[in-house]
Amino acid sequence: MALLELRDLTVTYATASGPVPAVRGVNLTVDAGQTLGLAGESGCGKSTIATSILRLLPSSATVTGQILFNGADVLTMNWGRLRAVRWAGASIVFQGALHSLNPVQRIGRQIAEPILLHEPGVSKQSAAGRVVRLLSQVGLPAARADSYPHELSGGQKQRVMIAMALACSPSLIIADEPTTALDVMIQAQVLNLITDLVRETGVGMIMISHDLSVLSATCQRLAVMYAGRIVEEGPAHEVFTAARHPYAQALSWAFPVIGDTRTRMSPRGLAGDPPDPAQLPSGCGFHPRCAVALAQCSAREMELWPAGDGRLAACVQVLNEEEGGQPARSVADENRSAGEAVA
Amino acid sequence: MNAVTSSGATDPVPAPGLESRPASPVPTPRQLARTRRRAALARFWREYRKDRRGMFGLVVLAVMIAVALAAPVLASSRGLNPIYATATPNAGPSLAYPLGTDADGRSVLTLLIWGSRNSLLVGLTATLISILIGALVGVVAGHFGSIRARAGRLTDNVLMRGTDWFLVVPFLPLAMVLARTLGPSLGVIILVIGLTSWAGTARIVRAQALAVETRPYLERAKALGAGHWHQMYRHVLPNVMPLLLANTILTVAGTILAETTLSFLGLGDPIRPTWGQMLGSAYEYGVGTGNLLWLLAPGIAVILVVLAFTLVGHALEAVLDPKLRER
């Protein structure tokens, strides 16, 4: 049984100007101990998925489909079960670590908070002992437990958030852009820390980021989202180096290959903006920005088709290639084969 | 928390090469925290001292509270009983009676000193009740009001309409009716004032609670599996505390005035003198016929203490809120 399974998950926000679909039919599976990266531009629905897993969405959101956590549907769970799943089953590392800590409480007390909430029998002393262990796990001195959040640096606060996420030994950690607002060196430290902890504790993880290079370095599998849908899924390294969906390609090309002159000179970047979720284009949501779009792209509904070993992609081009059809050549295709040659 | 500090406090083993150097005492985290707290307090005091009106208020308050506490030493409570009063009634100030006497021949100074006790007692305890109710209603309404679900909105609405009712209902008739039905005693006066003066606090606290509710650490608390009580008690309340503190001091001024009003109208405990009661009896028996100080002394005392509380409250507000400090 999978640790987490999303089945046809849709999330629609009710706004003053009508319903806005943020997530449109997402299927995802995370096995125990597996790490999954979720990538995409701002507003594509990544964080909505993350918050829906613990049912933390505002009440203006309507959620349909199923979120199976260890086989039990989170969406229909009663309040008591839900509270137990929150943090003890799955915990979140929030993106704004700088603001996710209560400014008037000491660090130690905040890390102990989930322990005391979920394990009522635990004494304050033993909780404090666990806080010290958690702090040393994330590389902070024990004396830090007595500090207030404003006495810590951004990287230290993020470490505190990670320690907090590990406090109740959950089986799943959802890291929602854990390295935003941190400088590159600290980003690297935090990512290494997360990777090490995931390996040591065997916890499952969903990491959300817009940075494909980060995800390919830390995750086993990678799913790329666009306009509320998953457009490509597969082993992280392969999706990063040889993406098949034009959007995933554009995203991976946003990162230069150091020392390679051909990719350095080739055109990259993606014109246009992500679509307004309230007015999605017909057919494939990406076709207005797609360099290799065909006539049928604006009419045909895309689904995830097999695209090689353990890979899925939602693009007719990929479908045609896999079925042996003649793919239309374009400038983008030339570039892609160049990228593959390098990889 | 103890385990944390003690393990952090262990001195590092000095490296062999470093032993020759003069040992500079490394402060333990606890010492560090203590010095830091002392420094913060000193900073607070330095800021507060800059506010001259606030300092005036503080000095007046200190004197008043000292007098109230030392009342049994300063004047015998026998002086309150008209049976033992031997002086000429309604006499002007003399050496034996610096503020003169009242219609029963009691020393006005003794009444004033003992009155400060009861006035401050009523003012402070009524404020405590008022702040407790106000904070509870405000935090609960703010917390549930921030939940956009129907049940949350309903709780907020019910609580706030109740608050509105207390805000618009005229204080004096309500307090008079309550005090009259419940009987004349200090406890009833405290209760009546406490129950009728919390609405403003509730509104202010709710507004601040709504602001705190949008902070990410509350979303974190929800994700932790925290229940409503835990969120309100551990996260919302501590963050509305500074506002509540400043508001408390300001409320004391209001409750002392309210007490004076009710006692003046004769709704207080006749056996325990308060300033309002002195004003009332002076007005009723002797104003203009003899000792004017009988009326002036408690009046000035009320003005001073209300002014002092207001000044201290505003000074605290200014020091606690950096945005106000810059003005």
> Is the Cβ pair B217, A101 closer than 8 Å?
yes
Specify whether A214 is located in the same domain as A262.
no
Asked whether residue B30 is domain-assigned, the answer is no
> Is the Cβ pair B225, A146 closer than 8 Å?
no
pLDDT for the residue numbered B14 = 45
pLDDT for the residue numbered B7 = 43
Angle made by CA atoms B66, B69, B70, in degrees to the nearest 5: 80
| 0.80 exceeded by pTM | no
Specify whether A132 is located in the same domain as A45.
yes
Specify whether A71 is located in the same domain as A121.
yes
Specify whether A267 is located in the same domain as A162.
no
Asked whether residue A234 is domain-assigned, the answer is no
Chain A CB contacts of B30 below 8 Å:
146
Asked whether residue A229 is domain-assigned, the answer is no
pLDDT for the residue numbered A37 = 92
Report ipTM for this prediction. Answer: 0.73
pLDDT digits (tens, 9 = 90+) for B51-108: 889 999 999 999 999 999 988 888 877 777 777 777 777 777 787 778 878 877 788 8
Asked whether residue A231 is domain-assigned, the answer is no
Chain A CB contacts of B148 below 8 Å:
58-60
Asked whether residue A225 is domain-assigned, the answer is no
Reported as a pLDDT band with limits 50, 70 and 90, residue A240 is: confident
Q: Nearest CA to CA, how far is A83 from chain B (Å)?
A: 5
pLDDT for the residue numbered B146 = 86
pLDDT for the residue numbered B13 = 46
pLDDT digits (tens, 9 = 90+) for A50-95: 889 988 888 888 999 999 999 899 999 888 888 888 888 899 988 7
State the residue range of the domain holding A248.
Answer: 242-342
Q: What are phi and psi of B306, to 5 degrees?
A: -65, -45
pLDDT digits (tens, 9 = 90+) for A9-48: 999 998 888 889 999 989 999 998 899 999 988 888 888 9
Asked whether residue B156 is domain-assigned, the answer is yes
CATH code of residue A100: 3.40.50.300
Specify whether A66 is located in the same domain as A208.
yes
Q: Is B20 exposed, middle or buried (0-12, 13-18, 19+ CB in 10 A)?
A: exposed
CATH code of residue B272: 1.10.3720.10
Chain B CB contacts of A145 below 8 Å:
1, 4-5, 8
Reported as a pLDDT band with limits 50, 70 and 90, residue B323 is: low
> By the 8 A CB rule, do A338 and A260 touch?
no
Name the residue with higher pLDDT: A68 or B31: A68
Which of A87-91, A179-183, A283-287, B18-22 comes out lowest in average pLDDT? B18-22
Q: What's the number of domains chain B is made of?
A: 1
Closest C-alpha among B124, B120, B263, B129 to residue B191: B129
Asked whether residue B238 is domain-assigned, the answer is yes
State the residue range of the domain holding B268.
Answer: 44-70+108-325
Does residue A80 belong to the interface with chain B, where contact is any CB pair within 8 Å?
no
**Over chain B, what is the mean pLDDT?**
83
The number of beta carbons lying within 10 Å of the beta carbon of residue B275 is 26
Asked whether residue B198 is domain-assigned, the answer is yes
Above 80 in pLDDT, residue B320?
no
d(CA A141, CA A16): 49
Asked whether residue B65 is domain-assigned, the answer is yes
Q: Is A310 left (phi over 0), alpha (psi -120 to 50) or beta?
A: left
Reported as a pLDDT band with limits 50, 70 and 90, residue B3 is: very low
pLDDT for the residue numbered B8 = 41
Specify whether A189 is located in the same domain as A291.
no
Helix, strand and coil content of chain B, in percent to the nearest 5, comes to 75, 0, 25
Tokens representing A243 are 């993406």
pLDDT digits (tens, 9 = 90+) for B294-315: 888 889 999 999 999 999 988 8
Q: What's the number of domains chain A is made of?
A: 2
Q: Nearest CA to CA, how far is B79 from chain A (Å)?
A: 50
pLDDT for the residue numbered A333 = 47
Specify whether A251 is located in the same domain as A337.
yes
pLDDT digits (tens, 9 = 90+) for B250-280: 899 899 999 999 888 888 887 888 898 888 8
Residues 44-63 of A with CB under 8 A from B: 54, 56, 58-60
Above 90 in pLDDT, residue B5?
no
Please tell me whether residue A194 adopts helix, strand or coil conformation. Answer: helix
Chain B CB contacts of A129 below 8 Å:
3
Tokens representing A33 are 């101990």
